[in-house]
Amino acid sequence: MPKKKTEVQRAAGKLISAIQKEWGDVLGEENAEFSENVMDAAHDLLQAGTREKVKELLGGMTIKQYLGDVWVQGHPSVKPAIQALQDQLDKDPA
């Protein structure tokens, strides 16, 4: 039976999808590798799995800082997905 995803994992998955759209737009361009690095960082957030482990991975950084402020500023369409993940991290544990 598949393991049930946490809300944090769902939000991280949506962030990955948003980044993938941006990454697909820059494939073959000079800066595509930077987008790929952002995608890898988002996968790390997904793999962390729980609110506590994601916060530990961030080490006091915001998600935007972790992914790269400059990249996020250049790709504003990912900001809602970043905010959704941040909202999950900010929720009081159930």
Q: Per-residue pLDDT for 94 more than 70?
A: no
pLDDT for the residue 93: 66
Which of the pair, 19 or 3, is modelled with greater confidence?
A: 19
Residue 12, judged by CB atoms within 10 A of its CB (0-12, 13-18, 19+), counts as buried
- CA neighbours within 13 Å on the CB side: how many for 17? 10
What single string gives the DSSP state of each residue in 24-80?
A: HHHTTSTTHHHHHHHHHHHHHHHHH-SHHHHHHHHTT--HHHHH-HHHHHH-GGGHH
Query: What mean pLDDT comes out for the span 4-16?
Result: 92
- Amino acid present at 52: E
Q: What is the pLDDT of residue 6?
A: 87
Calpha distance 6→11 (Å, rounded) = 9
- At residue 2, the pLDDT reads 53
- pTM attached to this predicted model: 0.87
**83 compared with 6, residue with greater pLDDT:** 83
CA pair distance 86, 78, nearest whole angstrom: 12
Given this model, what pLDDT does residue 63 score? 97
